[in-house]
Amino acid sequence: MNRQLAHLSDEALVALAARSEQSALAELYDRYGRTAYGLALRVLRDQTLAEDAVQEAFLTVWRTASRFMPERGKASTWILTLVHRRAVDAVRREQRRRADSLDLAAEPAVEGVEEDAFLRLQRERVQTALRRLPDAQREALELAYYGGFSQSELAERLGQPLGTIKSRMFGGLSRMRELLGEPGTETSWTPTT
Amino acid sequence: MDPHDLTAAYALDALGPDEAEAYERHLGQCEECREELAELNETAAALAFGTAAPAPPERLRASILDAAAAERSNVVPLLRRRWVARGLAVAAAAAACIIVGLAVSQSQSSGPQLSWQLSVGPTGKATLSVSGLAAAPHGKTYEAWLIPAGHSPRPAGLFSGSTSGVRLHGTVPPHGVVAVTVEPAGGSSHPTTRPIVTMPIQT
């Protein structure tokens, strides 16, 4: 695998992609493709749909890289936001999902996952932070983010007023921000050499 | 509905389409929400790292890079009715023998969010992308066709709904047309229904 761009920041790679440098897109995929695919698979539970969501997101990166504004946020945030949005759009198009139950947001058993130390560390940090949230906040975040449920669907399915769901999502996300902001919980890519 | 309390839900992609649109309008006018959203987006994206990450199939990387290469070389945006109408006119001029099948295809009424994009690479390899297209009905598939000027349609690939890139079989001839029809599952060797879209090749 060609990793000659491995020393560049994500943001520099996006700037190169905006100039049609294909190896920059490849490097971004090598950094985030696996996380992107894991996320899409968690939301969609279907390999083909997950691949489509990841492909669409990375092609959106390619098409719109020139409009990315580094001062508005990290490139990794932008990429994973695109992946998540595609995955959620797809899961909502799947009518059959409507009949399914809320436990869809539970993490499926994934066998034979051999991941590198960086990804395992990040996963443990996020999961530890999630476990420290009050149950109701954690449930709202997991169902919304991993389950793809809208706030209205959650209000209905959990039998709670919409305002309660909004507060749980806001409270949960704000608390996660504090927990992840503690030292040593950086989640962006760190160049290896 | 106070848009200020929708920031977390928006960051989690937990708004319905109308709510999201209203929130985005609000964002244009509210610096406070833009700042808060930037922070919450980052936290929401961190959740992506909280799930198991099995390796994606090897083909996905190649598929993305191939589609990217095909796109950047010659992007031909095909959006909305204006383009479709133009496509029909070109089809009529360029492919008279099959126009009976194609010219009556003004059935694109699925709303403004439906968009098609055909990207043609320097060697004539083409990728077709579409968003906002409903999934093909049960037992049916979408089939793309390459129509060289003055010739019959050639099957160019099958897809089931919105897609970021179907690589079309064969090469796209200059002044030809790409069309899409709904066919029985498995595809057809000749179009059996009217196209839902026709696109001219502008190379």
Domain CATH for B176: 2.60.40
Question: Do the Cβ atoms of B57 and A51 come within 8 Å?
Answer: yes
Is the same domain home to B140 and B183?
yes
- Put simply, whether A37 touches B (Cβ < 8 Å) is yes
Is the same domain home to B160 and B135?
yes
Averaged pLDDT for residues A123-133:
95
A-to-B residue pairs, Cβ atoms closer than 8 angstroms:
184
**Nearest CA of chain A to the CA of B72: how many Å?**
7
Q: Each residue of B161-192: pLDDT tens digit?
A: 877 788 888 887 777 788 888 888 889 888 88
**In this structure, are residues A75 and A57 in contact, taking their beta carbons and an 8 Å threshold?**
no
Question: Do the Cβ atoms of B14 and A74 come within 8 Å?
Answer: no
Lowest-confidence region among A9-23, A41-55, A82-96, B28-42: A82-96
- How far is it, in rounded angstroms, from Cα A51 to Cα A102? 23
Is the same domain home to B45 and B66?
no
> Which residue's entry shows tokens 């066998």?
A111
* Structure tokens that stand for A138 in this block: 């954690």
**In this structure, are residues A66 and B105 in contact, taking their beta carbons and an 8 Å threshold?**
no
Chain B residues 53-92 with CB within 8 Å of chain A: 53-57, 60-61, 63-65, 67-69, 71-72
- Put simply, whether B105 touches A (Cβ < 8 Å) is no
Question: Do the Cβ atoms of A34 and B55 come within 8 Å?
Answer: yes
Question: Do the Cβ atoms of A152 and B63 come within 8 Å?
Answer: no
What ipTM does this complex have? Answer: 0.88
> Which residue's entry shows tokens 């099959």?
B98
- Put simply, whether A158 touches B (Cβ < 8 Å) is no
pLDDT score for B37: 94
What proportion of chain B, given as a percentage, has pLDDT over 90? 29
Supply φ then ψ for residue A99, to 5 degrees. -85, -15
Please check the confidence at residue A193 and state whether its pLDDT lies above 50: no
Is the same domain home to B109 and B164?
yes
Is the same domain home to B46 and B95?
no
Averaged pLDDT for residues B17-45:
92
DSSP 3-state assignment of B84? helix
Which range marks the domain in which residue B143 is found?
A: 58-200
Please check the confidence at residue B84 and state whether its pLDDT lies above 70: no
Q: Each residue of A140-153: pLDDT tens digit?
A: 999 999 999 999 99
**Nearest CA of chain B to the CA of A105: how many Å?**
11
Global pTM reads 0.65
Is the same domain home to B24 and B83?
no
Please check the confidence at residue B76 and state whether its pLDDT lies above 60: no
Kindly list the structural domains of chain A, giving each domain's residue range(s) and its CATH number in brackets, ordered by start.
1-100 (1.10.1740.10), 116-185 (1.10.10.10)
DSSP 3-state assignment of B189? coil
What proportion of chain B, given as a percentage, has pLDDT over 70? 78
- Best mutation target, A20, A95, A170, to test chain B (most B CBs within 10 A): A170
Is the same domain home to B45 and B145?
no
pLDDT score for B165: 80
Chain A residues 49-68 with CB within 8 Å of chain B: 50-52, 54-56, 58-59, 62-63
How many Cβ atoms from other residues are within 10 Å of residue B74's Cβ? 17
Averaged pLDDT for residues A8-17:
92
- Best mutation target, B6, B7, B12, to test chain A (most A CBs within 10 A): B12
Is the same domain home to B86 and B39?
no
DSSP 3-state assignment of B183? strand
Specify the higher pLDDT residue, B100 or B146.
B146
C-alpha distances out from residue A16 to A62, B99, B160, Å: 10, 44, 33
Per-residue pLDDT band at A4 (split at 50, 70, 90): confident
- Put simply, whether A14 touches B (Cβ < 8 Å) is no
Please check the confidence at residue A132 and state whether its pLDDT lies above 90: yes
Helix or strand (DSSP H, E) at A45: none
* Structure tokens that stand for B126 in this block: 């083409």
Chain B residues 141-200 with CB within 8 Å of chain A: 161-165
Is the same domain home to B91 and B8?
no
Instruction: List, in sequence order, every residue forming a beta bridge with B92; answer none if it has no partner.
Output: none
Please tell me the total count of domains within chain B. 2
Secondary structure (DSSP) of A73-139: S-HHHHHHHHHHHHHHHHHHH-GGGGGS-GGGGSPPP-TT----HHHHHHHHHHHHHHHTS-HHHHH
Please check the confidence at residue A127 and state whether its pLDDT lies above 90: yes
| Set of chain A residues whose Cβ sits within 8 Å of the Cβ of B49 | 35, 119, 122-123, 125-126, 187
Which sign, positive or negative, has the C-alpha torsion B35, A147, A90, B51?
positive
Is the same domain home to B148 and B183?
yes
Is the same domain home to B81 and B38?
no
Please check the confidence at residue A155 and state whether its pLDDT lies above 60: yes
Is the same domain home to B29 and B65?
no
pLDDT score for A38: 95
